[in-house]
A and B are shown apart, each in its own frame.
Chain A
Amino acid sequence: MSTSTTSQRPPDDTFTEPQRSRSLKERLLGKQPLGLVFSAPYVVFLAVVFAYPFGLAIWISFHDYIFTAPNVSVPHPFVGLQNYVTALTDPAVLRSFLNTLIFLVINVPITVVLSIVLAAALNTGIRWASAFRVAFYVPYVTASVSLIGVWLLLFSQGGLINSILGPLAPDPSWLINSKLAMPSIAIYVAWKQLGFYILLYLAALQAIPKELYEAASIDGSGTLGKFWNVTVPGVRSATVLVLILAIITGANLFTEPYLLTNGGGPDGASATPVLLIYQKALQQTNPDVASAIGVVLVIAVGILSALANRVGGGSDDE
């Protein structure tokens, strides 16, 4: 943008050499070319760690790829969609996508409803709001491995939760029950991430004009009416963001099934696509099929996110 304005300089009669070289430099590189130098390390980082591996992932997924020792060159023949066929006809892979769907159906509604309600409650000017906020944020900032260690004990067969429930305790217990393993993970992740979504909603709530609440009061709306008619529509764009982030989180589960349900157990009932990517690529040395699962996963997340954006109608005010 700035280059076009500088080139519209009036024709100058005192046209000296240094000036011309400066304007040429300016036209080519911009007004402050130092910006290129400042951005260069970050851009190189993005290219090396994101762009190139991204391309490589797609390339691997269309080729027959095996691991080799360093500097050993073996052919990687193009195999078309064969890796995708292998991946998508594997019952374990299909099961992992179904598990993700089960996760999303439980986790996303809990996440959206609880975070918006708790954020709205925190925003009413109550006492000790910052202490409550800290309580909600702490699981989000703490390492998943730590918290999973605690949940493992709490939800184990003879654990605290079951001894509180007494005769109501599920048998087999939560994490080793094929019907309850995935819902348990969904609830754990909702608990762990909720603070971050509350944070996003608190930011969105600041943007709702106070007059809207006053007008609703004059119209005779109660607390629930105001929440439903002012707060919920007012934070719509945040809801779209929360939906998309919750979908992305749900699609990328690894630590939880790996540790909490002992490798996606019982019998694959809580296996996730990323867990299978890890198993196929590193344990069974099939990085090509693993990459195909990754590409399918990214496309599925893209479609779900676009749907969430559509349903929330969020694109207009982003």
Chain B
Amino acid sequence: MNDRGRRVLLHVALAAAALVFIFPFYFMVIGAFQENPTNDPSSLFPIGGWTTRNFSDINSRVPLGTALLNSAIFTIGVLLGTLTFGLLAGYASARLRFRGRSVVFVAMLLVQMIPFQLLMVPLYVLLTRTYGLGDTHIGIILPFLVNTTAVFIFRQFFLGLPESIFESARLDGASELRTLWSIALPLVRPAFVTVILVTFIGPWNEFLWPFLITKDVTMQPLAVALANYITNVSQTASNPNGAILAGACVLAFPVVLLFCLFQRYFTSTDVGSGVKG
């Protein structure tokens, strides 16, 4: 009985903690569809006053379609870069013996120690002043092109494959490229889901860099556009709170959906190994 009571208590405590984590999402979704988002605890479960005007409101101030497209281009660019160059680098550092292999690995570790914030001034100078890449998709994508955590995850998965299958492939005369494509890749398919999840959230949620490098509203990803709305435009809107929550919903929805669908791939071992190396 005592043990049972303790387990009930544990469940209640965890449920209370989970509620604290989930509540702002509930508030966001409900408020986004309310004519007047509540600030009163007694009306947290509204029965009326539903509207979709908040979405058309924010759409009239922030071109949601353009902003979503820019976010999508940013994210897809980073995904493509990571799934090609990051995959190749992860495979090489795990499976191929070549001169400089350890140098590549040390470089990967060092990169994770340099904070982006130190690089933002020189990167801004280089990309906007020297290369003229301000307000371009390439300029937004470039600093994020290959996600190093993803390289670590690929490396970890390829390291986990038995050496014998590579030996027999080489004995059969398969080229390295063919070994990678037809033998190694199918075996690490779960790595792709993890890598796509981990890589997706980076550029989709990124604020600082696209904020620095875009002045042109038509080039801004949704995170930047929404932040500008929050700081500048919302004062003049009729229901700014509802519009902010509507924008927040649009920005949060794709990632939350993706995460809930594939959360079992977001496991501690995969991501942890990626972070720890």
Closest to B201 in A: A141
- Give 22 A-B contacts (CB < 8 Å), ordered by A residue: A36-B92, A39-B104, A49-B145, A53-B122, A54-B114, A69-B129, A70-B129, A126-B14, A130-B263, A141-B205, A143-B252, A144-B205, A153-B244, A154-B27, A200-B272, A203-B273, A223-B6, A254-B117, A255-B227, A259-B231, A291-B121, A294-B121
A278 and B212 in contact (CB under 8 A), knowing A34-B176, A146-B251? yes
Contact between chains at B208 and A35 (CB < 8 Å): no
Measured in the bound complex, the distance between the Cα atoms of B100 and A38 in whole Å is: 12
Instruction: Tell me if B's interface is mostly helix, strand, loop or mixed.
Output: helix
Measured in the bound complex, the distance between the Cα atoms of B151 and A151 in whole Å is: 34
Measured in the bound complex, the distance between the Cα atoms of B79 and A210 in whole Å is: 40
Q: In the complex, which of the residues A122, A191, A301 contacts B115, with contact meaning CB atoms closer than 8 Å?
A: A301
Contact between chains at B245 and A199 (CB < 8 Å): no
Measured in the bound complex, the distance between the Cα atoms of B245 and A152 in whole Å is: 10
- 8 Å CB interface, B59-112 against A: 81, 84-86, 88-89, 91-93, 96-101, 104, 107-108, 111
User: Quick one: which of A29, A42, A126, A154 has the most chain B CB within 10 A?
Assistant: A42
Measured in the bound complex, the distance between the Cα atoms of B104 and A67 in whole Å is: 34
Contact between chains at A143 and B255 (CB < 8 Å): yes
Measured in the bound complex, the distance between the Cα atoms of B102 and A207 in whole Å is: 27
Measured in the bound complex, the distance between the Cα atoms of B101 and A36 in whole Å is: 8
* Chain A-chain B contacts (Cβ-Cβ < 8 Å), number: 296
Contact between chains at A298 and B118 (CB < 8 Å): yes
Q: List the A side residues contacting B115 at CB < 8 Å.
A: 248, 251-252, 297-298, 301
- 8 Å CB interface, A176-194 against B: 191, 194
What is A's interface to B at a CB cutoff of 8 Å?
Answer: 1-3, 28-36, 38-39, 41-43, 45-46, 48-54, 56-57, 60, 67-70, 118, 121-122, 124, 126-128, 130-139, 141-154, 156, 158-160, 163-164, 191, 194-195, 199-200, 202-204, 206, 223, 241, 245, 248, 251-252, 254-255, 258-259, 262, 273-274, 277-278, 281-282, 287, 290-291, 294-295, 297-298, 301, 318
Measured in the bound complex, the distance between the Cα atoms of B275 and A163 in whole Å is: 41
Contact between chains at A143 and B204 (CB < 8 Å): yes
Closest to A114 in B: B17
Measured in the bound complex, the distance between the Cα atoms of B24 and A139 in whole Å is: 9
Contact between chains at A291 and B122 (CB < 8 Å): yes
B260 at the interface (CB under 8 A from A): yes
Q: Mark B224-242, 1 if CB is under 8 A from A, else 0.
A: 0011001100000000010
Contact between chains at A68 and B129 (CB < 8 Å): yes
Within the complex, the shortest CB–CB distance from B145 to chain A, in Å, comes to 6
B185 at the interface (CB under 8 A from A): no
Contact between chains at A202 and B268 (CB < 8 Å): yes
Within the complex, the shortest CB–CB distance from A32 to chain B, in Å, comes to 4
Measured in the bound complex, the distance between the Cα atoms of B264 and A192 in whole Å is: 20
Contact between chains at B255 and A30 (CB < 8 Å): no
Instruction: Tell me if A's interface is mostly helix, strand, loop or mixed.
Output: helix
B269 at the interface (CB under 8 A from A): yes
Q: Mark B261-273, 1 if CB is under 8 A from A, else 0.
A: 0011010110111
Q: In the complex, which of the residues B28, B124, B177 contacts A281, with contact meaning CB atoms closer than 8 Å?
A: B124
Measured in the bound complex, the distance between the Cα atoms of B271 and A142 in whole Å is: 17
Q: List the A side residues contacting B101 at CB < 8 Å.
A: 30, 35, 39
Contact between chains at B226 and A41 (CB < 8 Å): no
Q: Mark B247-259, 1 if CB is under 8 A from A, else 0.
A: 1110110011001
Q: List the A side residues contacting B11 at CB < 8 Å.
A: 126-128
A67 and B125 in contact (CB under 8 A), knowing A53-B119, A134-B260, A200-B272? yes
Contact between chains at B10 and A121 (CB < 8 Å): yes
Contact between chains at A137 and B263 (CB < 8 Å): yes
Contact between chains at A46 and B107 (CB < 8 Å): yes
Closest to B143 in A: A49
Measured in the bound complex, the distance between the Cα atoms of B42 and A164 in whole Å is: 9
B174 at the interface (CB under 8 A from A): no
Q: In the complex, which of the residues B89, B97, B273 contacts A2, with contact meaning CB atoms closer than 8 Å?
A: B97
